[in-house]
Structure 1
Amino acid sequence: MKFQRQRREEININLTPLIDVVFLLLIFFMITTTFTQESHLSISLPEASTEARDMADEVEFIDVVVGAEGQFSVNGQPLVTSDALTLKRAILKLAGEQRDLPFVITADANARHQAVVIVMDVAGQLGFSRLSIATQKAGD
């Protein structure tokens, strides 16, 4: 007796749904991605001849001292009040139009953090970029 064997079908994995999902994910990420385009302006600044300034009036750096009670002093001159407007006026009077001066913040260890943040905020508003905070060596 001869038995017929049943034919076995080959087992295949259908990749079509997998490819569809991958393409959908690719399209989703392409659409939701934001591209930033940076642009730079080329500026040629005008030149002007000015009179020489008196070097005795020039300031080498701006030093703002924050005391333990939150009082401010700019280059050794104590301020009447400890608010941002008074500090801004004192710095503008001292620096004039110079914004490339080093700006040093020296704060007492017991000074409130808010007072130091006020000084940093005023320096940022006025356009000073060379900001540093004075520290003391450990053990001194």
Structure 2
Amino acid sequence: MSSRSRLNKTEERTDINISPMIDMVFILLIFFIVTTVFVEEEGISVDKPTPQPPDKEQEERDEPVILRVTTNNQVIHDGNVVTLNRVETLVKTAISKSDVPVIMQVERGALAGVMVQVMDRAKVGGAEKISVTSVEAQ
């Protein structure tokens, strides 16, 4: 026990009292919380439309014009082969009733030139947007 150092009665024991430091940290924390400015970031305001039930007339007249370009480079509408001039007429009559979409179904292996010609004729007929999909050959 001689290796241990013993405190003499004359020596004072020194302790570090951290209570005032903890109090100061809490006071600073409260100060920063109170003085913090909370900024609300503004976003884009969006006007959401209210949903309305569809009219039966609107459902009936929104039949799209579907044109199919085959691998034989023929244009088919409703199961009938049509010419490029007929494509323009079909689109013009369909668009005159209401603004219906034009959908082109192009079979894999069809020439791109024929597809572009059909698109051009549909645009001349009044189609503003034409959707193009690729389908498997029948």
TM-score band by shorter chain is 0.3 to 0.5
Pick the structure with greater CA Rg.
Answer: 2
TM-score, length of structure 2 as denominator length:
0.48
